[in-house]
Chain A
Amino acid sequence: MNIIVLVKQVIDPEAPPSSFKIDASTNKAEMRGAAPVIDPYGEFAVEASLRIKEAKGGKIAVMSLGINLLREVVKKPLSMGADELILLEDESYVGGDSWSTAYAMAMAIKKYGEYDLILCGRESSDTNAGQTGAGIAEILGLPCVSLARKIDITDGSAKVERVTADGYEVIDVPLPAVITVSNEIGEPRYPTIKGIMAAKKVDPVIWKPADIGIEPSQVGSAGQKGKLFKLYQPVYEGKCELAEGETSEEAAANLALKLREAKIL
């Protein structure tokens, strides 16, 4: 099994909401005081790939697109057990939308050549769009199953449990295919010391647009079909009325009384 896993470097979505800030001049968001991380949804995809490798053997190549990719961040999947790292790292990839990102990723996958399975997170924690997997599948003409919570590989196909509103469905999809992975797959493993040491020795392969056969005009902000018109932080009033009391029990009773008074109960 040759598996390609797509991950993204993002601002830490688990940092407290109070540290979230937007730079109005650049429309860029940041988490003050928190280092960037591998997108948690992408980590679920890495975990899924490692489980398949354990069961079926094979090789895992990780791909990521962006600039200023911190090596200690993008190497995390390697330290968890992935084998190769390919970075689409160039100024011209910046400012893209789902279109330009999926296009560049699809061309990189084509160049990589031999693959049975492409995995990515169900969405990323920054754009919350969930389009890259479907887009790559469409560009490469592959079937795609979204929202996977379990993947079993059998001869030439994958049996995927796909999350639905009231449970799940079991879908059989022929390989090669794209599968987007949901958090229900289970907690990603921690990197091991041995994994971290091994990851240090891996030199990532860097592909510029010319390396994957695309013009700079097809990627990044030049290749997008939607425009960001405005980015802002919604304001919440934050007028919470706290019930007080000598003890927690008394405060709790007072809360019930307040709710009755406000006709909520």
Chain B
Amino acid sequence: MSDYQGVAVYCETRNEKLVPIATEELGIGRKLADDLGHELLAVLVGSGIRSLAQEAFSYGADKVCIVDDPLLKDYHTDSYVLVMEKLVNQVKPQILIMGQTDIGRDLAPRLAFKLGTTVTMDCIELAIDPQSKRLLQTKPVYGGNAHAVFVTETDPQMVTVRTKAMTPLEPDASRQGEVVKIEAGLEASVIRTKVLDRVVEEVKGIKIEDAEVVVAGGRGIGSTEGFGQLEELAKLLRGAVAASRPPCDNGWVPDTLQVGLTGKIIAPELYVAVAISGSSQHLSGCSGSKNIIAINKDAEANIFRHSRFGVVGDWKKVLPAFTEKVRELMAG
């Protein structure tokens, strides 16, 4: 395995830009590459993406590897796995970092099995072991109740990283590097699936992953109408409304509002958790928030262990009074 060298970062792109998690991957990739004394390689796969190399350089890449082909316009497991297999066998990176996105969750395990290596999904911390020089991969397990540190014995050592767990570098537009083009060499017939439709479920107002303030409700809210009251506070604070899993499963709010291990992972300035008990699976999605505020009638609720401020009480009484006082303070 000694002929594997360097750190490669798979950069997902959308609307002719790197997605934010790609810049976070480049940030941690840069650090690991420096610790190993290796190069940092950014990998771009898609159609019409050549112009994005400069963005990858500015976020820390030494080299950018591009596979640009019309057949790669849409993500299909079959085509992307084949192209990534070819690329890894050609470049032989010692470490391959991907993002824990809907594409990363699909692509990374299949690619690892194809390459005969293994991947650690959803890492929140990555470091080089000073003795062995292998990658220490920390990921939450048991819905966040525990953390596990894994070491991969085969190369490349593959990981996906959790959204917002890593920090991007300040972009430096003057950074330059080498661009390597790799031919996809794909036949359309390798793609067994067809994408019949892509549906974007529009949300009113600010998206929860972009909001500075998020007001989230749990099982205790009880109805769609209840979420209307959260909406009022969110509007006042120019934030967004979110939910834990039960309100989504019960159809009170759309699934796209779910914060948690199986929903969105966010890190706003302020997270107001209303009638949310604080299961590990939910906290996995919001524990990176700068300030968590809890309103819950159960003083023993787990959410209070993760909150900076809170009120023990029935949200139906607490929330309207809280919203009124906030309105008054903001007006003054």
Contact = CB atoms under 8 A, between A and B. Distances in A.
B146 A232 contact: yes
Interface in B154-176: 154
B317 A249 contact: yes
A147 interface: yes
A122 B142 contact: no
B151 A128 contact: no
B151 A240 contact: no
A182 B262 contact: yes
Interface in B203-227: 207, 209
B105 A147 contact: yes
A11 interface: yes
A239 B237 CA distance: 25
A249 B318 contact: yes
Contact of B310 (A131, A144, A240, A250): A240
Nearest to A166: B200
B304 interface: yes
B147 A122 contact: no
A128 B140 contact: yes
Interface string B293-329: 1110000001011111111111001111110111001
B310 A241 contact: yes
B113 A242 contact: no
Interface in A114-151: 122-123, 125-131, 133-135, 137-139, 143-147, 149
A125 B143 contact: yes
A227 B197 contact: no
A144 B77 contact: yes
B305 A228 contact: no
Interface in A211-265: 224-234, 236, 238-243, 247-260, 262, 264-265
Interface in B89-117: 101-102, 105-106, 109-110, 112-114, 117
Given A125-B143, A229-B136, A248 B314 contact: yes
B110 A251 contact: no
A147 B102 contact: yes
A67 B135 CA distance: 31
Interface string A1-18: 000000000010110111
Contacts of A241: 308-310
Given A29-B142, A149-B255, A169 B262 contact: no
Given A229-B136, A238-B305, A17 B279 contact: yes
B13 to A, nearest CB: 14
A163 interface: yes
Given A146-B105, A256-B325, A29 B113 contact: no
Interface in A145-165: 145-147, 149, 159, 162-165
Given A159-B196, A240-B304, A227 B150 contact: yes
A128 B121 contact: yes
Contacts of A143: 77-78, 192-193
Contact of A259 (B207, B245, B278, B309): B309
B110 A134 contact: yes
Interface residues of A, number: 88
Contacts of B310: 240-243, 255
Contacts of B78: 143
B153 interface: yes
Contact of B199 (A125, A168, A247, A265): A168
A238 B200 contact: no
Contacts of B237: 265
Contact of B302 (A16, A125, A164, A234): A16
B147 to A, nearest CB: 5
A193 B213 CA distance: 47
Given A169-B197, A262-B309, A126 B192 contact: no
A225 B105 contact: no
Nearest to A255: B311
Contacts of B308: 239-241, 262
A259 B307 CA distance: 12
Given A128-B122, A163-B102, A252-B317, A145 B193 contact: yes
Contact of B321 (A171, A239, A248): A248
B145 A29 contact: yes
A251 B194 CA distance: 56
B291 interface: yes
19 contacts: A17-B280, A20-B146, A97-B118, A102-B113, A143-B77, A170-B199, A173-B192, A174-B192, A184-B248, A226-B151, A228-B150, A232-B146, A238-B305, A238-B306, A248-B313, A249-B317, A251-B312, A253-B325, A256-B326
* In the complex, the 3 A-B pairs of residues with the closest C-beta atoms, listed nearest first: A256-B325, A252-B321, A134-B109
